[in-house]
Amino acid sequence: MAVLEVRSLGKVYASHEVNIPSVEALKNINLTVNKGEFISIIGPSGCGKSTLFGVIGGLNECTSGEILIKGEKVRGPHPSIGMVFQEESAFPWLTCSENVEFGLKMMGVDKKERRAKSKEMIELVGLSEFENHYPGELSGGMRQRVAIARTLVMDPEIILMDEPFGALDEQTRVILGEELLRIWERIRATILFITHSISESVMLSDRIHVMSCRPGTFKKTIDVDIPRPRSSSTISTQRFGEITDQIWKELKEETTKAMKIRPSECVWADIHE
Amino acid sequence: MNRAHKITITKWSILVGAAGCLEIIARAGMIRRSTLTPVSEMFITLWKFFATGEIPVRFLKESSIAGNFFITFGEILLSFSFAVLIGLPIGILLWKFKALARILNPYLVSYYAIPVFALYPLIVGLFGIGILSITFMGWLFAIVAVIINTATGFEEVNKRIYPKVGKSLRLSRSKIFLWIYFPAATPYIFTGLKLGFIYSIIGVIASEFILSTKGLGYLVRFSYSAFETEIMYASMLLIVIIAVLINGALMRMEAWVYGRQGR
Amino acid sequence: MTIRRRREILIKLGVMAVPILIVLLWQLGSILWGELILPSPLKTFSVLKAGVIESGWLFSDLKDTMIELLFGYLFAVILGLMVGFILGMNRFLREVLEPFVLNVYAIPKVTLFPIFLFIFGLGMESKVAFGFFHGIFPITILTMGAIKDIKTVYVKVGRSLRLNPLQVYKEIVFPSILPSLMTGLRLGFNLSFIGVILGEMAASRSGLGYTLMKSEGAFYMEKVLSIVVVLAVIAIAVNFLYYAIEGKLVRARET
């Protein structure tokens, strides 16, 4: 059974005011993610990637279609789903280990078990030295690692990531990408990764879905047959270049279209996200 | 713009509604006339002030409305000017000498908890009862706001890239200060001036109220003790209207000053 | 000793030196202007001591003022937090009421004091109400601002971790707004304090402000200055306390 199944998903932001039109953000999204896979969704800005992220994660409701986690219908945030957000989300008032323990604490897990699990996760993401530091004292990349550890420690069946490295510089992105692969392989996680970076998606994933601009649908699915384990040196291989070209061809058209979308529509959707 | 209209309508309804309630309560005699004047009569009395130019209260030291206006505003402008003249340089000094700022910091932040009005006996002893004392009190009240905002303003400029641009163009330190720091800090300085002006108003009128000299603040006090309730409410209304108008104008100007710099 | 450490010590010394400097200037002033107008620090403190030990006038006045302050401030805190919270959460109400709140802030509130006297009489209640009226504004304004500015992503994290609403408030909203809240509470105290004293100075039967005016009328300057000293000490001490608490709660967090 697939871990995540999305069937004919649609999302319309209905307008209640006369002179503002309804916006169809997502249309007929179909997606299957099996255990242990690393799937990416790529698309231009404003095409609805983050909307999709919010809907699958259960933070927003879809207006049509359904989402199934291991056969169960999803209605609201599901315990089997972990979410890593685009913005910096490590709580500045807690130390790193307190941040990582947060979800467990809210669920009522006792102190000893929390500490053990979070220690393990912090080590996995490479932040053992900074356990007792506050996020404010760390770099952006480290803060995102805290957010990732906080999600991983909940042991979710599938992890959704919405451009987690978006706010970081190029080099840090590549390094954290490598780290993510390492972690993914270690714990055999299942990851649904949203990004706008072609090289990132090709380096990390088994399969890439290219999204069209509003209304967002899956335009094309591309299998990445580059063998694993991959690393930053994969970027310079020929196959990498070929797949990148393929994606860029699809994406270029959509990005150009996205640039012509009227601002009022984007703002409208942003308010509702 | 449906929403903006809804907001404006709600705001005015609240005002009118509250005034209406007070009017009804007063006219129905639920509260004695000596305690609450109907709102409409407050406005009428106020109008009469300006129409006749006189405030019809016996034994009032200064009975012309113009006289009181001039006195109060004269004091406000004077205390404000001094607050800026002295406060601005001090603020800059505190910014330049960080150590000094840190030493004075605990006292500056507690300053507005200490009722400076309590020092008025001293000030009266030094300056006598009159305009000078009131001006001095207004000045005392306003100056710290100017100082703090000026110092913070220049500090904010420090955090940005502009001074470094000046350095890279090899400008002298005084040139950088005059042509980069000052213009860049203008919005924050304006905030300091706005607060300084408002605190001057508050300081002056509050001092007039307590000290019993002349001016709008005293007007309220005097009519209260003379049981001239109508006059008292009219004067309060006047002060409130003036304060709100000035505050509104200053806030608009402030928004414009910040907007010009793209913030 | 590092330069930095030495600098820190010098600054601490500087802070302690300021009151000493003020006392010296004070002494200078009383020489220049005469003891009649500005009694020397020594004389003032002896009167102050007498007020504490012998006649005890200080304590009875202080008690009344503190009671008024306590109640006025408490009401301001409770109501201020509630209103600030509601306005922070509800955008419509905020856009309607914020201008009112900001404008009243700019009015010389003391001129409205007679209304309080009408409603509450000359006793302590009017001072409590006046202190409340002063203190509620900064608390409301800062709480409202803090809630408005909570980063949405933190709430989203809470939702994705399936926190119940109570947990969201306790574990996410509250720690997030704490710094601004503390500032609002401190400013609220400062303003409540001023409100109470001003009220006592304007019309009262007891309290430090009242005794201040009475002493001034009798030209008993030593007493006047003693009261000023007491007020200043209270104001500075409480502000220090707030900063200490704020430091403990907030210091480590922010970049």
**8 Å CB contact between B65 and B49:** yes
Count of Cβ atoms closer than 10 Å to residue A245 Cβ: 10
* A211, A251, A260, B41, B121 from A254: Cα distances, Å: 8, 5, 10, 68, 77
- Find all residues with CB under 8 Å of B42, minimum gap 6, and list them: B230, B233, B234, B237
C172 with A91: Cβ contact below 8 A: yes
* Pairing assessment for the beta strands A38-42 and A207-211 based on DSSP bridges: parallel
SS3 sequence of C20-71: HHHHHHHHHHHHHHCCCCCCCHHHHHHHHHHHHHCCCHHHHHHHHHHHHHHH
Q: Is A169 on the interface with C (CB under 8 A)?
A: no
- Which pLDDT band, with edges at 50, 70 and 90, does A269 fall under? very low
Task: Tell which CATH architecture fits domain B51-260.
Answer: Orthogonal Bundle (1.10)
Low-confidence ranges of chain B (pLDDT < 50): none
**8 Å CB contact between B18 and B39:** no
Of all helices (H) and strands (E), which one includes residue A177?
Answer: helix A170-187
Rg (alpha carbons) of chain C, rounded to whole number: 22
B209 with C201: Cβ contact below 8 A: no
From chain B, pick out residues whose CB is under 8 angstroms from the CB of C212.
Answer: 118, 121
Q: Is C252 on the interface with A (CB under 8 A)?
A: yes
- The pLDDT assigned to B262 comes to 65
Out of C11, C33, C216, the one facing B103 most closely (by C-beta) is C11
Domain residue extents for chain B: 1-36, 51-260
From chain A, pick out residues whose CB is under 8 angstroms from the CB of C167.
Answer: 106
- As given in the structure block, the two tokens for residue A168 are 């970081």
Q: Is B249 on the interface with C (CB under 8 A)?
A: no
- As given in the structure block, the two tokens for residue C36 are 């009649």
pLDDT at A266 over 60: no
Task: Write out pLDDT tens, residues A8-21.
Answer: 888 888 877 667 77
**8 Å CB contact between B25 and B9:** no
- Which pLDDT band, with edges at 50, 70 and 90, does A129 fall under? very high
Which segments of A67-158 does DSSP mark as H helices, in order? 96-107, 111-124, 140-152
C25, β-bridge pairs: none
C-alpha torsion sign, points C192, C68, B209, B54: positive
- The pLDDT assigned to C84 comes to 93
From the candidates C22, C36, C107, C127, which should be mutated to test the interface with B, based on the most B CB atoms within 10 A? C107
From the candidates C160, C162, C166, C246, which should be mutated to test the interface with A, based on the most A CB atoms within 10 A? C160
- As given in the structure block, the two tokens for residue C60 are 């009875």
What phi, psi does A114 have (nearest 5°)? -55, -50
**SS3 (DSSP) at A32:** strand
Q: Any idea what DSSP says for residue A33?
A: E
Q: Can you give the length of chain C in residues?
A: 255
- Counting one residue from chain A and one from chain C, the pairs whose CB atoms sit within 8 A come to 56
A7, β-bridge pairs: A66
Using the structure block, give the residue that is written with the tokens 């599901």: A78
Rg (alpha carbons) of chain B, rounded to whole number: 23
Nearest CA in chain C to A93: C253
Taking only residues 186 to 205 of chain B, the set having a beta carbon closer than 8 angstroms to any beta carbon of chain C reads 198, 201-202, 205
The CATH number of the domain covering residues in A4-80+156-272: 3.40.50.300
Q: Is C160 on the interface with A (CB under 8 A)?
A: yes
Q: Is C167 on the interface with A (CB under 8 A)?
A: yes
| Distance from C-alpha of A182 to C-alpha of A145, rounded to nearest angstrom | 13
- Find all residues with CB under 8 Å of C199, minimum gap 6, and list them: C68, C113, C116, C126, C127, C130, C131, C209
Q: Any idea what DSSP says for residue A159?
A: E
From chain B, pick out residues whose CB is under 8 angstroms from the CB of C112.
Answer: 236, 240
Out of A89, A134, A137, the one facing C157 most closely (by C-beta) is A89
| Distance from C-alpha of B166 to C-alpha of C83, rounded to nearest angstrom | 47
From chain C, pick out residues whose CB is under 8 angstroms from the CB of A103.
Answer: 161
- Residue type for position A138: L
B115 with C106: Cβ contact below 8 A: no
Task: Write out pLDDT tens, residues A41-98.
Answer: 998 877 788 889 989 988 888 888 999 988 888 888 888 899 999 888 888 888 999 9
Q: For the whole prediction, is pTM greater than 0.90?
A: no
Out of C154, C252, C255, the one facing A91 most closely (by C-beta) is C154
Q: How far is C164 from chain A (nearest CA, A)?
A: 9
Q: Any idea what DSSP says for residue A19?
A: T
Cα dihedral value B14, B18, B24, B27, nearest 10: -140
- Which pLDDT band, with edges at 50, 70 and 90, does A271 fall under? very low
A211, β-bridge pairs: A218
| Distance from C-alpha of A211 to C-alpha of B27, rounded to nearest angstrom | 70
- What is the spatial order of strands in the sheet that A81-84 belongs to? A81-84, A158-162, A191-195, A38-42, A207-211, A218-223
What phi, psi does A72 have (nearest 5°)? -90, 140
| Distance from C-alpha of A140 to C-alpha of A164, rounded to nearest angstrom | 11
C189 with B110: Cβ contact below 8 A: no
Burial category of B249 from C-beta neighbours within 10 Å (exposed 0-12, middle 13-18, buried 19 and up)? exposed
* Pairing assessment for the beta strands A158-162 and A207-211 based on DSSP bridges: unpaired
- As given in the structure block, the two tokens for residue C95 are 């856009």
**SS3 (DSSP) at A135:** helix
**8 Å CB contact between A208 and A220:** no
Greatest Cα-to-Cα distance within chain A, rounded to the nearest angstrom = 57
Q: Is B121 on the interface with C (CB under 8 A)?
A: yes
- What b/e string do you get for B123-154 counting C-beta neighbours within 10 Å, with b at 16 or more? bbbeeeeebebbbbbbbbbbbbbbbbbbbbbb
From chain A, pick out residues whose CB is under 8 angstroms from the CB of C178.
Answer: 93
Q: Is A85 on the interface with C (CB under 8 A)?
A: yes
Q: Is B30 on the interface with C (CB under 8 A)?
A: no
- The pLDDT assigned to A137 comes to 87
C178 with A93: Cβ contact below 8 A: yes
**SS3 (DSSP) at C189:** helix
B106 with C243: Cβ contact below 8 A: yes
Low-confidence ranges of chain C (pLDDT < 70): 1, 55, 251-255
What phi, psi does A191 have (nearest 5°)? -130, 135
The answer, yes or no, to whether the previous bond of A156 is cis (omega within 30 of 0) is no
Q: How far is B111 from chain C (nearest CA, A)?
A: 8
- Which pLDDT band, with edges at 50, 70 and 90, does A262 fall under? low
Q: How far is C157 from chain A (nearest CA, A)?
A: 7
- The pLDDT assigned to B45 comes to 83
**8 Å CB contact between A80 and A241:** no
**8 Å CB contact between C62 and C230:** yes
- The pLDDT assigned to B83 comes to 93
- The pLDDT assigned to B1 comes to 62
Of all helices (H) and strands (E), which one includes residue A161?
Answer: strand A158-162
Out of C18, C100, C227, the one facing B104 most closely (by C-beta) is C18
Of residues A54 and A265, more confidently modeled = A54
C160 with A136: Cβ contact below 8 A: no
C255 with A77: Cβ contact below 8 A: no
Domain residue extents for chain A: 4-80+156-272
From chain A, pick out residues whose CB is under 8 angstroms from the CB of C157.
Answer: 83, 85, 89, 91, 147, 150
- The domains of chain C, with CATH numbers, are 59-250 (1.10.3720.10)
pLDDT at A244 over 80: yes
* Among B177, B71, B63, residue whose Cα is nearest residue B133: B71
- Residue type for position B151: A
**SS3 (DSSP) at A221:** strand
Average pLDDT of the residues of chain A: 86
| Angular region, A175: left φ>0, alpha ψ -120 to 50, beta rest | alpha
Q: How far is C110 from chain B (nearest CA, A)?
A: 6
Nearest CA in chain C to B105: C15
**SS3 (DSSP) at A126:** coil
- The pLDDT assigned to C5 comes to 85
